[in-house]
């Protein structure tokens, strides 16, 4: 019984990777939308680092567009997930703080 619990079936890893790549396509979509409407969003974008709203939006676009494309393509996945995770954490923290 423990052997079955501790060693998942081989297809479960593949399924997890498919869901990860599908999720990154959503991030690519939102990053591209932010890039298209950069001038509109730069004025009111939250600035958690104190570097200015435009620079914070640039970092967000980088994390959502470029890093998500790297994850989708399977290039530098572990390194590319670091900015994406930080971006999502700040999004959650800013949302919680604003509520």
Q: Does position 93 have pLDDT exceeding 70, yes or no?
A: yes
In terms of DSSP H, where are the helices of 37-76?
38-42, 53-61, 67-73
The sign one gets for the Cα dihedral 48, 51, 56, 59 is negative
Q: Does position 41 have pLDDT exceeding 70, yes or no?
A: yes
Query: Could you tell me what percent of the chain has a pLDDT over 90?
Result: 54
Q: Does position 10 have pLDDT exceeding 80, yes or no?
A: no
In terms of DSSP H, where are the helices of the chain?
2-6, 10-36, 38-42, 53-61, 67-73, 77-98
C-beta neighbour count of 4 within 10 angstroms: 8
């Amino acid at each position: 019984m423990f052997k079955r619990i501790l060693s998942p079936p081989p297809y479960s890893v593949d399924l997890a990777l498919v869901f990860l790549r599908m999720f990154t396509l959503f991030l690519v979509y939102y990053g591209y939308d932010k890039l298209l409407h950069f001038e509109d969003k730069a004025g009111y974008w939250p600035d958690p680092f104190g570097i200015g709203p435009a620079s914070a939006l640039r970092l967000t676009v980088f994390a959502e567009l470029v890093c998500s494309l790297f994850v989708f393509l399977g290039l530098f996945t572990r390194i590319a997930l670091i900015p994406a995770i930080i971006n999502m954490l700040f999004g959650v923290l800013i949302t919680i703080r604003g509520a």
